[in-house]
Amino acid sequence: MKERIYTIPVNDAFAKDCECALCELEEVTTRDLVNYYMGASMMESDVRVSTNEKGFCSRHLAAMYNLQENRLALGLMLHTHLDDVCKDIGHKLEKSAAPSVAGKIFAGKGDVRQGLVKLAERIEKRTESCALCERLEYTMDRYIDVILWQFFEESEFKRKFSESKGFCLPHTALLLRGCAKYLSASQASAFAKSLAGIQKTSLETMCKDIEWFTLKFDYRNQDKPWGNSKDAVPRTIRKLLGRTDLKQ
Ligand SMILES: [Zn+2]
Ligand SMILES: [Zn+2]
């Protein structure tokens, strides 16, 4: 039996009538992690070592800010992270902009522009790293493992999986990667076959829905029913890219 802390959220997500159960799982996990980082954990030294070094991506930092609570915790975390950035980038920026002549000659560092590109890459790496993304990625990997295990071990789960509306494209790719990582070749093939069938139906249905959305703008179709097409634009965006912060 797989760990219940992972099987319960997986079963809850697959019980929902949604376009992608993994998007549901990701949303719930993200909400929990935002609350975790904005809660008492912010004071734990190992958490702070990680957030000082990695910081957060813009999406997750915005989610923390938009919670509109515990601004002190957020301020403390930002302060020590920024301090780390100052020591790292601030010092290197100064050095790269004006490398000493002696340093250039003896260390054989050559063109100043190479140093600037290197520093730009370092800055980009720092802005992309995110303590929350790393934990989210780990948890989603656990969920994928559980989904694949349940698919072969629990017939009721396999039925729910097969009757679902499929998955968004990023999570389809994640499932395929999980297949290659956790399953034998014959199991991977059986799972992928089932997934391919679900995705084919799901994408074709979505295609018809978005097409009917566009056809409804034709005056000849004005009085015809919308069917499932009224919200086809946001649903198509989510099917293509996963959960996005779209206004309703
Ligand atoms: Zn998804
Ligand atoms: Zn992030």
135 Cα: distance to centroid of ligand 2 (angstroms): 9
Calpha distance 88→130 (Å, rounded): 17
Give Cα separations from 99 to 14, 107, 144, 219, 224 (angstroms).
58, 11, 49, 68, 71
Q: Which residues surround the ion ligand 2 when the cut-off is CB under 5 Å?
A: 57, 60, 130, 132-133
176 Cα: distance to centroid of ligand 1 (angstroms): 13
Both 173 and 125 in one domain: the answer is no
Return left, alpha or beta for 123; rule: phi > 0 is left, psi -120 to 50 is alpha, else beta.
alpha
Give Cα separations from 2 to 30, 38, 139, 203 (angstroms).
22, 29, 14, 31
| Nearest bound ligand to the CA of residue 143 | 1
φ/ψ (deg, to 5) at 67: -60, -25
Residue 109 pLDDT class (50, 70, 90 cuts): low
C-beta neighbour count of 206 within 10 angstroms: 20
Percent of the chain residues past pLDDT 70, beyond the cut = 93
Task: Indicate if the pLDDT at residue 195 is higher than 70.
Answer: yes
Say what angle helices 21-38 and 71-85 make with each other, to 10 degrees. 90
36 Cα: distance to centroid of ligand 1 (angstroms): 23
| Residue listed under structure tokens 């522009």 | 113
| Tokens representing residue 95 in the block | 């050095």
| Nearest bound ligand to the CA of residue 173 | 1
Whether 246 maps to a domain, the answer reads no
Q: Which residues surround the ion ligand 1 when the cut-off is CB under 5 Å?
A: 20, 22-23, 168, 171, 242
pLDDT of residue 96: 74
Both 11 and 111 in one domain: the answer is yes
**Lowest-confidence range among 91-100, 117-126, 229-238?**
91-100
| Tokens representing residue 101 in the block | 């002549």
Calpha distance 158→164 (Å, rounded): 10
Both 123 and 68 in one domain: the answer is yes
Q: What average pLDDT does the structure give for the chain?
A: 90
Both 53 and 93 in one domain: the answer is yes
| Nearest bound ligand to the CA of residue 166 | 1
Task: Indicate if the pLDDT at residue 68 is higher than 90.
Answer: no
Return left, alpha or beta for 225; rule: phi > 0 is left, psi -120 to 50 is alpha, else beta.
beta
133 Cα: distance to centroid of ligand 2 (angstroms): 4
Q: What's the rounded mean pLDDT across residues 160-181?
A: 95
Q: What's the rounded mean pLDDT across residues 44-49?
A: 91
Whether 152 maps to a domain, the answer reads no
160 Cα: distance to centroid of ligand 2 (angstroms): 30
Q: What's the rounded mean pLDDT across residues 232-247?
A: 88
Both 33 and 127 in one domain: the answer is yes
156 Cα: distance to centroid of ligand 1 (angstroms): 22
139 Cα: distance to centroid of ligand 1 (angstroms): 14
181 Cα: distance to centroid of ligand 2 (angstroms): 24
| Tally of structural domains, the chain | 2
Whether 138 maps to a domain, the answer reads no
- Find all residues with CB under 8 Å of 228, minimum gap 6, and list them: 205, 209
Dihedral of the CA atoms 93, 95, 97, 99 (nearest 10)? -160
pLDDT of residue 102: 53
Domain with 26 in it: 4-133
Helix, strand, coil percentages for the chain (3-state, nearest 5) = 75, 0, 25
pLDDT of residue 110: 64
Calpha distance 26→13 (Å, rounded): 10
pLDDT of residue 100: 62
Task: Indicate if the pLDDT at residue 51 is higher than 60.
Answer: yes
247 Cα: distance to centroid of ligand 2 (angstroms): 20
190 Cα: distance to centroid of ligand 1 (angstroms): 21
52 Cα: distance to centroid of ligand 1 (angstroms): 30
C-beta neighbour count of 197 within 10 angstroms: 12
pTM above 0.95, yes or no: no
∠ CA 151-152-158, nearest 5°, is 35
| Residue listed under structure tokens 């910081």 | 55
Stretch (H or E) spanning 48: helix 45-54
- Residue type present at position 208: K
Both 126 and 190 in one domain: the answer is no
Both 120 and 210 in one domain: the answer is no
Both 192 and 125 in one domain: the answer is no
